[in-house]
Amino acid sequence: MGNATIVHVSDPDTVRGRTGPDANDRIDQHAEQRIREAAADSDFDDRLDTLDHEWNFERVIETEAAATGLIGLLLAARFDRRFLVIPGVVASMMLLHALHGCYPLLPLLRRIGIRTQNEIDAERHAIKMLRGDFSRVHDAESERRAEEAWRAVHL
Amino acid sequence: MTDMAAVNPNVTETDRVRANTSTAVTSEIDRDGRHCVEALAGENRENITRHIDQLDREWDIERILQTNMSVIALGGVLLGATVSRKFLVLPGVVMGFFLQHALQGWCPPVPVFRRMGIRTRKEINREKYALKALRGDLDQPKKS
């Protein structure tokens, strides 16, 4: 992987850090657009419900990797043990992803808009803010602010 | 899936890992998060910001499980290719459970890691946004 394409490797969200700036910007713009729409329609509950069910990047690649690895194992057991290359590569790539964030399908999946949980949660809390979930935190007595903040972020 | 939901006490959870964690362990994880927010409520902005940075770097359960699965599977594939085909059971089992985890949110190591206090990204972000609220990031824009 060439260093030239990596812009924010220090991003604690390793997947965002490994995504090109164009794809990250497009994902952010879509989120902003949806937040505007939710604000215009006051359609907060439905939007939050949709976000709760969105498949995040980790879930997508875990499903893909497990399925690919299992198919490779079956092919190796049935036909030719050279097919063991498939689960071997899948496991290596998953390890590389867990440690450094990179993954062979990352550019493709990010370009079609698969988001990290951090990105989904950012949109989620922006919508919660617009719904007024955090309004009591600001107004609360200082000793009750933590309680109100914790209540506002209910899962 | 509907059968599982019927016996599962935490069906309202949309976080699949939380839904598959015992209520006692979930409460403990939530209590730790709440205590952290309470402890930081009186602190200055810098300390809150430093804690938010730590949360961003905390390893979540997906990252732990991915590491766990890939190390065992890789070892199994290598032993299966060099020593005995019987070792291929190892990657078969861990990848099978990993697929189950991706689809349903449960696999055998999940209860172990959860009891150790490993959180989902949603749980980590929950604490993060509570702290951002305390820091004043989420104050409602004044209605005109």
The interface predicted TM-score (ipTM) is 0.91
Cα separation, B36 vs A88, whole angstroms: 41
- Return the structure tokens found at A117: 């949980």
Asked if A87's CB is within 8 angstroms of B66's CB, the reply is: no
> In Å, how far are A9, A146, B81 from A22, measured between CA atoms?
15, 38, 42
What is the per-residue pLDDT for B20?
Answer: 94
Asked whether residue B24 falls in the same domain as residue B64, the answer is no
Asked whether residue B107 falls in the same domain as residue B132, the answer is no
- Give the distance from residue B90's alpha carbon to the nearest chain A alpha carbon, in angstroms: 11
Residue B142 lies in a domain: no
Does B1 have pLDDT greater than 60?
A: no
Handedness of CA B127, B130, B134, B138 (dihedral sign): positive
Asked if B18's CB is within 8 angstroms of A121's CB, the reply is: no
Cα separation, B30 vs A86, whole angstroms: 40
Q: Which residues of A touch B131 (CB under 8 A)?
A: 149
Cα separation, B113 vs B94, whole angstroms: 15
- Return the structure tokens found at B6: 């019927």
Instruction: Name the A residues in 13-42 with CB < 8 Å from any B CB.
Output: 13
Domain span at residue B51 reads 17-58+121-137
Q: Does A82 touch chain B (CB under 8 A)?
A: no
User: A24 near A16, Cβ under 8 Å?
Assistant: yes
Asked whether residue B95 falls in the same domain as residue B49, the answer is no
| pLDDT band (50, 70, 90) for residue B13 | confident
Does B111 have pLDDT greater than 50?
A: yes
Residue B26 lies in a domain: yes
- Return the structure tokens found at B109: 């190591």
Cα separation, A64 vs A67, whole angstroms: 5
Asked whether residue B49 falls in the same domain as residue B89, the answer is no
Asked if B140's CB is within 8 angstroms of A129's CB, the reply is: yes
Does B142 have pLDDT greater than 50?
A: yes
Residue contacts between A and B (CB atoms, under 8 Å): 150
Cα separation, B16 vs A114, whole angstroms: 18
Asked whether residue B44 falls in the same domain as residue B86, the answer is no
| pLDDT band (50, 70, 90) for residue B4 | very low
> Based on the number of CB atoms within 10 Å of its own CB, is A4 exposed (0-12), middle (13-18) or buried (19 or more)?
exposed
Asked whether residue B29 falls in the same domain as residue B66, the answer is no
What is the per-residue pLDDT for B117?
Answer: 97
Nearest to A54 by CA among A105, A118, A97: A118
What is the per-residue pLDDT for A140?
Answer: 86
- Return the structure tokens found at A86: 């498939």
- Domain total of chain B: 2
Cα separation, A127 vs A118, whole angstroms: 14
Q: What is the mean pLDDT of each run of 10 residues along chain A (155 residues)?
A: 50 94 97 95 94 97 98 96 97 97 97 97 96 90 91 92
Q: Does B142 touch chain A (CB under 8 A)?
A: no
Nearest CB among A73, A146, A155 relative to B37 is that of A146
Closest chain B residue by Cα to residue A74 = B92
Asked whether residue B43 falls in the same domain as residue B73, the answer is no
- Give the distance from residue B115's alpha carbon to the nearest chain A alpha carbon, in angstroms: 19
Per-residue pLDDT of B32-81, as tens digits, reads 999 999 999 989 999 999 999 999 999 999 999 999 999 999 999 999 99
What is the per-residue pLDDT for B11?
Answer: 55
What is the per-residue pLDDT for B2?
Answer: 38
Q: What is the pTM of this model?
A: 0.91
What is the per-residue pLDDT for A11?
Answer: 87
Asked whether residue B68 falls in the same domain as residue B46, the answer is no
Candidates A60, A115, A150: best to mutate against B (most CBs of B within 10 A) is A150
What is the per-residue pLDDT for B3?
Answer: 39
Give the whole-number percent of chain B exceeding pLDDT 70: 89
Residue B9 lies in a domain: no
Asked whether residue B66 falls in the same domain as residue B53, the answer is no
Asked whether residue B26 falls in the same domain as residue B53, the answer is yes
> In Å, how far are B8, B27, B101, B105 from A62, measured between CA atoms?
24, 27, 8, 11
Q: Does B34 touch chain A (CB under 8 A)?
A: yes
Asked whether residue B90 falls in the same domain as residue B51, the answer is no
Asked if A98's CB is within 8 angstroms of B140's CB, the reply is: no
Cα separation, A84 vs B117, whole angstroms: 35
Asked whether residue B49 falls in the same domain as residue B65, the answer is no
Q: What single string gives the DSSP state of each residue in B8-36?
A: -TTTT--SHHHHTS-HHHHHHHHHHHHHH
Q: Which residues of B touch A149 (CB under 8 A)?
A: 37, 41, 130-131, 133-134
